[in-house]
Every structure is written in structure tokens, then in C-alpha cells.
Structure 1
Amino acid sequence: MGYLRTAILMAAMTALFLGIGALLAGIGGMVIALVIAVAMNAFTWWNSDKMVLRMHGAQPASGRMGDDLRRMVHDMADRAGMPRPKVYVIDNAQPNAFATGRNPQNAAVAATSGLLQSLSREEIAAVMAHELAHIRNHDTTIMTITATFAGAISMLANFALFFGGNRNNPLGLIGTLALMILAPLGAALVQMAISRGREYAADRAGAEICGNPLWLASALEKISGMAARIDNDTAERNPATAHMFIVNPLHAHKRDRLFSTHPAAENRIRALREMAGRSARPGPWA
């Protein structure tokens, strides 16, 4: 159901782009916007792992705690039948983690020092299993595609603003101005909906990889509570990376929950507990 929902939302994003492109900038403007957006996002996708890891000061996992984390991640990756990702640690007090990379063969996972110090071994395993699920589900690729269309729609609105847009559209001046404002908003909402859907899918798959949904439910409860109190200054300076983390790292600026890239933690926890109720199979880390 998660993949079907994602496919429907991506189809909606494509239709939104085609319809708005024809109205605001005509076929020529639509093609130009799409080419520019594809080029920008292709560069980001190809280099995203290095850029994001460097941005957040991630270092290869080392030392006793880092070595244990790397063995844990690689063991779960082997059990899941997927390539072993590179493993990094970020010196940050906020407990959090993310995955990056253009495909499973070129992927990395990163955990903050706060996460490693605050959670139990089972909870850490569940969090890293969630990140492995993102890699296995090719979520980086999915989000790059939606970001491409969202960026192209914003460019179309800018084309209409600076170059007058498609004068043959039936909306008139007021309608065109309204569409220029609402089109990027609509694209952002669809993009956020896809991101939230992928979080639920990664929760389910992560629970299966680690073997116990309650471990992930417990981890989310702890992480969301602490992340709301502990600042992540790097993420606040780079909010575009917020969707990558297992819980939203942003809270200092009270961003509108409507545009949150993550579902409410309590909803995710409830879904995981319901999943646990349907299956009591112990995980490999028990």
C-alpha cells in the first residue's frame, strides 16, 4: 500500500507540473524548467552522500562505540540481503540518524553521538534498521524525483513572474497570479506527503529488519522527546536536509507542522505497536 500511495502522489506531482507548465509558461517554458531542475537535482543526487556527510561533520565510525555500531549495521544489512553501507558518527548531542547515497551500492548511514549515548543497544539497532530500510526502498531516488518536479514548478512560477508567462492561458491576470502562488505550495504539499509516506514504510521495513517493532517504537518515543529539547544547529542552518533524519531535527524556529517532512511521532509509535501486536516474533538482537 505504501508503494501504491507513493506512485499515486508522484503521478499527481507529474500531472501538476504538466498542467501548470502549460498554463504558466507554455510548452517551451515547461521543457526549460524541467531540464534545469533535472540537471540541478542530478548533480545533488550523485554527490548527495559526500555533501550531506560533510555538511553535518560526519566521521567514519571508529573506537569501541563506533566499531560496535558498524558491526551491528553490517550484520543487519547481511541479514536483509543488501550491500553493507558505510557507517558514520556525527558529534551532536541531539539523538538522531539518517541514510544517504544514490543507491544501495553507494550508501551510508550516520548516527549522532547523542543517539549512541542515549538509547539501548536494541533501540539503536532498530533506528539503524529504519535507515537501512530507506536505502533498500530507494527512498533517496524517490525524493530526488519529487524534488525535481517541485523545483521545476517553482521555476515555472518564476518564469511567469519575470517573463509574463503564457498570455494565451484562460485564467486571466488574477488567476495567473493566484496560480503562481499556489502552484509551488501545492507541489511542496505533495512532496511532504510522499516523504511522510516513505517514513511509515521505512518504519515497517525497519521493524522487520531488526525483528521487533517495539524496539523502534521505544526509540522513536525517546528520540522525539529529546530532539524537541536539544538543538541541532547544523540542521537548523541547513533545513533542506531535515527530511533525511529519522525524526525532524528542527524545532528552534517553530516551523509550521503543515510542512513537516515527518509524520507525528505518536502516530508512528501507534502503528509500530499495532504491528507488534500482530507478530510477536523476537528479533536477531534479542
Structure 2
Amino acid sequence: MTVSHNLKNFIHTLALFLCMGAILSLLGFILAGATGILWAAALGVMILVISPNISPSFIFSMYKGKLLSENDAPRLYQIIRELAARADLPSLPAIYYLPSQIMNAFSVGTSENSAIGLSDALLNSLSEREIIAVLAHEISHIRHNDVRVMTYADIISRVTSALSLTGFLLIFFNLPLYFMGLVTISWSALGVLVMAPTIMSSLQLSLSRMKEFDADRHAVLLTGDPEGLAMALRKLELYESSVFDMLFGRSGHGASIPSILRTHPETEERIKQLLSLKKPSRQTLQYSIHEKFYIPAHYRKSIRKPRWHLGGFWY
């Protein structure tokens, strides 16, 4: 990426976070005056301190993920090692096997302590070329600390929703006093409470779209193969459609996709941008046309069917 592009990316991210912080502070002021702003600032500092220290193993334990050893997945670790070297990562990401029938891959942690989760459906459905592209995309997220940034954005968005709900409850419980003329209700403040979660979600969406496009471009720089990632995205889109059509008995699954997936840009838009990129001068990472990744049977004993959890996770 060029210096100008990185600077533009940084300015965009900073502007979005400033907007998020302003909305969070405004909600704090509505609920508790100047003290609420201080609480919002303290909460922001706490998020900055705690979030990077969450262990990747703890996060993957929520998904029943199992750490893959290099003996059980030598080819995957060979690919990860090559991609990490090309991306100048200070440490090698760990690989977790996710016993899920949903085709998915995601990364957690920082560039110094990171891990990538690959679902059973993904490992058994994508070719080696496509898995290399997916791994390059996730390593790009790790290299640019996108996981940390998006974690901050997600927590701020959730806190905003919680504060908005708290404000609604306070207004609801004060309605009898309002009708008795004992208290007043600021309708402009009520409007802020209504709009804040929507605005925050839109900002989070904008940030996520930018990070996904950047990770796509950087993945191509790592692999030298834009077509490989485009092929993987097409398969992911087709598989996702068929799974949700089967589960919910309808065409079109947009309303059923978990919120974490809806934050991604449209697949066709990503593919169009990928195929418009010039192939980098770096040699294409080598892949086998016929080889498949085989995960030992003891990892696959607890494959989980897709289902909804209160935490919003799909398996």
C-alpha cells in the first residue's frame, strides 16, 4: 500500500472513532450531566486497556475451537509461516480448528499474539489455493491490527446501545411523574437516544467496509493471486446462501445473516475490486491443485450444527 493510502486509512479511522466517542459522551451527558461524560471517558480508557489483553485461546473457547498442532496440520503451518514472513509479522499466528458446519474464518489478537480460526466446512470445501487466499486476508487483518480496532468499535457500539436502553427505561419510569407535571422530559434528548444506536452501527459498518477492502488488497500483495481470493469469496457466498435457504426455507437470506457477517461489503463489490487490481511483481505463493486439507478424526468428533445463541454467535 502507498503511504498516501495508509494516511487516508488512518485519518478515516480516527474520524470515525472521534464521532463514536462524541456520541458516547453525548449519551453520558444526557444520562448524568458532566459526570456522565467523565464516566464515558473512563469507560473508553478501560476498553483501550483491557481489549488487547484478551487471550485468543479464550475467544476461541467460546466457539469450541481446538488448537491445531503443527504435526496434525503441517501444510497449513507451512502456508502460515510463508505468509507471516511476507507480511513481516513478529510472531506466527496459531491455527484453531472450529467444529462448525458454517463456512467461516476469522482472526483474533494482535500482531504479537494472534490466532486464526478455520471452520470444518471451510477446510473441506475450499481448495488449497482458496484457503491460501483466505489465510492471507486474515493475516492482513492481523498485520494492520484491524482486529483490535474493530473490537474497540464493537464494544463502543454495544455500550452505546446499553446506554440508550438505560435512557429509555429512565424515561419510561418517569412517565407517570411527567403526566402529573412533576418532571419534564427533553424530547431532543429522547431523539438522541433513539438515533444513537443506529448512527453508531452505521459508523461501525463504514469502518468494517474500509478494513475488509484493505485486507483484500493486502492479501493480493501477499499471495500475488487476486483470482484465488475472488474464487474463495464466490464459494463463501454460494455456500452461505444455500445454508440459510435450507435452514429457513426461503430465497434470500439477508435478514437471517448474523450481524457480524452483515458488516462486510457486498461480495460482488469485493470481487470486482479484486479483479481490477494489477498483479504484484512478487512471485505467486505456490499451491497444489489436487491436494486437500485433512483434519485428524479426533478433531472432528464435536462438529456443531448451525444455531442461534443469545450472544449472537452462529456455529
Q: Is the 8 A contact 1:204 1:272 kept in 2?
A: yes
Q: Indicate whether 1:208 and 2:208 are aligned.
A: no
Q: Could you tell me which residue of structure 2 aligns to residue 199 of structure 1? A: 212
Question: How far apart are residue 45 of structure 1 and its match?
Answer: 4.1
Do the aligned residues in 2 keep the contact of 1:37 with 1:152 (CA within 8 Å)?
no
TM-aligned CA deviation for residue 53 of structure 1:
0.7
Residue matched to 2:24:
17
CA contact (8 A) 1:217 1:272 kept: yes
Deviations 1:225-252 (A, max 9, x none): 1122236xxxxxxxxxxxxxxxxxxx59
The corresponding residue for 1:234 is none
User: Does the 8 Å contact 1:24/1:176 carry over to 2?
Assistant: no
CA contact 1:13–1:149 (8 Å) conserved in 2: yes
The question of 1:144 aligning with 2:151 is answered yes
1:99 corresponds to: 107
Deviation at 1:162, TM superposition (A): 4.8
Shift of 1:8: 2.3
Determine if contact 1:98/1:111 at 8 Å carries over to the other structure: yes
Which residue of 1 is the match for residue 121 of structure 2? 114
Task: Please report the TM-score for the alignment, with normalisation by the length of structure 1.
Answer: 0.79
Letter in 2 for 1:107: S
Unaligned 5+ segments in structure 1 are 165-170, 232-250
Q: CA RMSD in A?
A: 3.0
Moved more, 44-53 or 172-181: 44-53
Percentage identity across paired residues of the two chains: 28
Greater C-alpha Rg: 2
Once the 2 structures are TM-superposed, how far is the Cα of residue 104 of structure 1 from its aligned partner?
0.9
Gapped runs of 5+ residues in structure 2? 1-7, 172-183, 245-252, 288-315
Out of 70, 78, 82, the residue aligned to residue 85 of structure 2 is 78
Compare 19-28 and 126-135 and name the one that shifted more.
Answer: 19-28
What is the total number of aligned residue pairs between the two structures?
Answer: 260
Measured after TM superposition, the shift of residue 148 of structure 1 is: 4.0
Specify the alignment match of 1:240 in structure 2: none
The offset of 1:152, in angstroms, is 4.0
Residue of structure 1 in register with 2:247 after alignment: none
Looking at secondary structure, tell me which structure has more helix per residue: 1
One-letter amino acid matched to 1:87:
I
1:134 to 1:230, Cα distance in 2 relative to 1, 3 A: same
